[in-house]
Amino acid sequence: MTALVLDDASRTRIAVEQVYTIRSTVATNALAGQLGLELTPGGQIVVTPEQHTNVSGVFAAGDATSLHDHQLSAAMHEGNQAACGANWLLYDADQRGATE
Ligand SMILES: Cc1cc2nc3c(=O)[nH]c(=O)nc-3n(C[C@H](O)[C@H](O)[C@H](O)COP(=O)(O)OP(=O)(O)OC[C@H]3O[C@@H](n4cnc5c(N)ncnc54)[C@H](O)[C@@H]3O)c2cc1C
């Protein structure tokens, strides 16, 4: 791409080397809907800090759970939190110790 040509009366031409675009976020949440997960008004899955959803035993992480922190590092952290949360859920009372 070398230029943008505007759709105006004089067909203004703007030389460019690169063009960046931005668009709104569209949540991919069909599966979440099928599972009965609570969603935000924007369609993201509502989770606790441990990535637990409103459905027991169902965890979610990454872009599907938030609007504002779409980054690989955030997705990895949340995925790890979700895995630890799921593991904790499998512990019996003895394994959980005196905390619960
Ligand atoms: C153009 C672009 C540039 C980016 N640049 C950066 C960057 O420089 N640095 C950075 O940190 N982040 C960047 N990001 C953001 C980063 O890619 C995301 O935050 C990250 O990939 C989120 O990981 P995720 O696992 O939550 O989702 P995804 O990586 O989107 O993975 C979700 C996966 O689930 C699959 N899936 C969805 N629904 C279903 C279903 N029903 N059944 C089975 N599979 C399903 C999808 O096909 C997809 O493979 C960028 C994103 C884009 C779009």
Q: Which of 65, 70, 71 is nearest to 46 (CA)?
A: 65
Alpha carbon of 97 to ligand 1 centroid (Å): 37
- For the chain, list the domains and their CATH numbers: 24-99 (3.50.50.60)
Neighbouring CB atoms inside 10 A of 68's CB total 8
Q: What is the pLDDT of residues 62-90, one digit of tens each?
A: 999 987 788 999 999 999 999 999 999 99
> Which pLDDT value is given to residue 26?
81
pLDDT per residue as tens digits for the range 13-66: 999 999 999 888 788 899 999 999 999 998 999 999 899 999 999 999 999 998
Q: How far apart (Å, rounded) are the C-alpha atoms in residues 21 and 87?
A: 40
28 CB near ligand 1 (under 6 Å): yes
Instruction: Identify the pLDDT of residue 37.
Output: 97
For ligand 1, the distance from its centroid to the CA atom of residue 56, given in whole angstroms, is 25
70 lines ligand 1 (CB under 6 A): yes
Question: How remote is the CA of residue 2 from the centroid of ligand 1, in Å?
Answer: 30
Cβ(53)–Cβ(37) below 8 Å? yes
pTM of the model: 0.82
